[in-house]
A = this chain, B = another copy of it.
Amino acid sequence: MEIDYLKLAIDEAWKYQLLTYPNPAVGCVVSIKNRLFVEAHKKAGESHAEVNALWSAYKAFFSAPTLTSSQEIHEYLYKNHNNFFNEATIYVTLEPCNHTGKTPACSKLIETIKPKKVVIGWLDPISSHSGGVDRLKNAGIEVEILNDKRCLNLIEPFIKWTNDKFIFFKFATSLNGAYTGGYITKKESLKWVHQVRDKLDLIVIGGETVRKDRPTLDARMVNGKAPDILIYSRQKEFDKIIPLFNVKNRKVYISDNLDIINKYNFIMIEGGENLYQKVKQIVDWNLFIININKILNRKNYRFDDELEVIHCEKREDLFLWTQKT
């Protein structure tokens, strides 16, 4: 069977899902001289997927300076592309942007380097972002729009937090479904959690988990900003020595209802099986982070449920993204 290049771009984008907030997750493959280069958008304010992939391809064939800012890379490619990309095909999960925001417009760069063809997974749903396709076509570049639903799945969090809010439940477990008793998942996943917390504006956590784990819930591993906290609990009494209460510049609410969520935009809920069941109706996605190298002699989370899997990826742990059925 033929290899699906768009899938390679999609899979790369998923590695940065949620970390790109408030931007969408985007992946890009550049195909040139029988070689393939794949990159994703990694963080808001940094270069877009297309730029990263083109730069990765360029550096494989030519010596080039070490450049990190999107502006620098755009300028360097403008000056030095030498029509190298004329035979390339670019596969990107989302229409190339046509506006200059924190970074220059990708469609301008692509128009300049003039690849043979651009294959686009999904058009940008934000109407003020459109125009990229027309620019490319007017430059004589062949454009194919696939309307591939996998690319819509990829940007679902982006669509939700742009229009209202996005809520997901994070559940960290061993291979055999144990979820209590301290750190279960690996350091790489813990770092990912800190990267996400830096982007979240609210974490919802159960009262029982707060009492047992006595967590901090900050983003110190990445020198990031700590989100506000809602402790979802009927009992209002908590030991104020618990570290989460003493992190600067954050609000902590204690409530037996979830109404405060409506004031927020990007929310993570974490807890055990009871909380999972309670918030099932309001979460958009669930994320199971599963340490597939570890079996623990502890009980599992236990209820009957059928899950719809959106994406399953092996990192050091397994990241299993699911949505409401």
Contacts and interface: CB of A to CB of B under 8 A. Distances in A.
A33 B7 CA distance: 19
A299 B297 contact: no
Interface in A59-100: 60, 89
Interface in A291-308: 292-308
How many copies of the chain does the oligomer comprise? 2
B3 A8 contact: yes
Contacts of A297: 302-304
A35 B89 contact: no
B296 A56 contact: no
Interface stretch (A170-178, A218-226, A230-238): A170-178
B308 A298 contact: no
B301 A299 contact: no
Given A292-B309, A318-B312, A37 B303 contact: no
A306 to B, nearest CB: 6
Interface in A226-266: none
Contacts of A296: 302, 304
B37 A34 contact: no
Given A34-B89, A175-B320, A177-B300, 16 more contacts: A1-B38, A2-B36, A3-B29, A3-B36, A31-B34, A174-B177, A175-B307, A177-B177, A293-B307, A295-B304, A296-B304, A297-B303, A297-B304, A299-B302, A312-B318, A318-B318
